Amino acid sequence: MTKGLLSVFTGDGKGKTTAALGVTFRALGHGQKVCFIQFIKGRWQSGEAIWSERFPGLLGFHVMGRGFTWKSEDMEKDRQAAREAWDFAVGMINGNTWDVIVLDELTYLIHYAMIPEEEILEVFSGKPASLHLIITGRYASEGLLQAADLVTEMRAVRHPFTSGIKAQKGFDY
C-alpha cells in the first residue's frame, strides 16, 4: 500500500529543515514536484533558496515569514504574515499539483496561536491522497503528532552556538 504521508520533524535539536531538504532532494531525483514553504525564516539568501533556482518547474521555494517570531517587534504583523503564508499553503495543498509539500516551521504557527491547530488538521485530513506533507519546527502540538504517519524528534546534544560560534553559510543556512 502506498499513500501520501504526513511527516513531522520536531524537537530542540538542529536538523529539522535539513531532514526536509533531504527528502526534497530525494523526491527531485525521482522527478517529483516539490513545494517548499518557509513560514518563519527571514528573507536572507539561504543556500537552499539559491539551490532551488536550479529546478524550475520541479521545485517551488517560497519564503513567507518576517524572520524569527521570538525576536518579533510587531507580533500583529507576524500574525498577518502567518495567515497569508497559511492561506498560500492551503492553496498549494488543495491545488493537487505537487508530490511533496514541505511546511517548514509550521509548528510555530500553532505554538504562538497564529493559526488554530484544528484548522490546520482539517486541511491536512482533506489533502490529496497521494500528497506527502512534511512539517518541521519545535513545539509540535499533540494533535499534529497524533495525526502524523512519521514523527522524528531531533534532540540537542551539543550545538556550536553555545560555544559562541555563529551560524555559518553553507552549513547552517
The model's confidence at residue 42, banded by pLDDT at 50, 70 and 90, is: low
**DSSP-assigned states of every residue in 21-88:** HHHHHHHHHTT--EEEEESS--SS--HHHHHHTTSTTTEEEEE---S-GGG-S-HHHHHHHHHHHHHH
Show the domains of the chain with their CATH numbers. 6-155 (3.40.50.300)
Higher pLDDT, 44 or 5: 5
List pLDDT tens digits, range 74-120: 778 888 889 999 999 999 999 999 999 999 999 999 999 999 999 99
Residue 140: is its pLDDT beyond 70?
yes
- Looking at 51-55, 115-119, 134-138, 155-159, which range is the least confident one? 51-55
List pLDDT tens digits, range 147-158: 999 999 999 999
The model's confidence at residue 55, banded by pLDDT at 50, 70 and 90, is: confident
pTM: 0.92
Distance of CA 9 to the CA centre of its chain: 9
What percentage of residues in the chain have a pLDDT greater than 70?
94
